[in-house]
Amino acid sequence: LLLDDYISLEKIRYEDRLHFEKQIDKNTLHCLIPTMMLQTLTENAIKHGISQLQNGGHILLKTNISNNKLKISIENDTPLHPPTPHEDSLGFGMSSTQQRLFLLYKHDATLHMNIENGKATL
């Protein structure tokens, strides 16, 4: 995965503050996803979660197939009280991903974010 190369670079930057784990269902390996989508969403998880935590945190990427649909989940540790938006943020990572998914798949693809107990999940 291109994402593996990106994570390798970020681990150099964050050292032991970034822990990344993948739980990839082998039945999902044949599925195609839009180019750079995983990297963009993982980058957001690092920028808005891990980078804001003094001790860093954990990101978990999971895939599975449920009801004949691919499900991708990215979970990261996040501040319980998020600060103001990140100074480098242009504010359109999530919305542009939603728009891209809609253009490609119409109503067959969705993007949701849930924040609960110090964890953000997409």
Looking at residue 96, what is its pLDDT? 85
**pLDDT above 60: residue 38:** yes
- Of the pLDDT bands very low, low, confident and very high (cuts 50, 70, 90), residue 10 is very high
- Of the pLDDT bands very low, low, confident and very high (cuts 50, 70, 90), residue 115 is confident
**Mean predicted confidence (pLDDT) in 5-28:** 96
- Which residues, other chains included, contact 50 with Cβ-Cβ below 8 Å and sequence gap of 6+? 14, 17, 18, 56, 57, 59, 76, 77
**pLDDT above 70: residue 9:** yes
Rounded Cα distance between 114 and 47, Å, is 17
Rounded Cα distance between 73 and 112, Å, is 10
Rounded Cα distance between 82 and 80, Å, is 6
**pLDDT above 60: residue 91:** no
Looking at residue 8, what is its pLDDT? 96
Element (H, E) at 23: strand 18-24
Interval 94-108: pLDDT, tens: 788 889 999 999 988
3-state secondary structure of 90: coil
- Of the pLDDT bands very low, low, confident and very high (cuts 50, 70, 90), residue 24 is very high
- Of the pLDDT bands very low, low, confident and very high (cuts 50, 70, 90), residue 121 is confident
Q: Angle 4-76-80 (CA atoms, 0-180°, nearest 5)?
A: 155
Query: Could you tell me how far CA 36 lies from the centroid of its own chain?
Result: 11
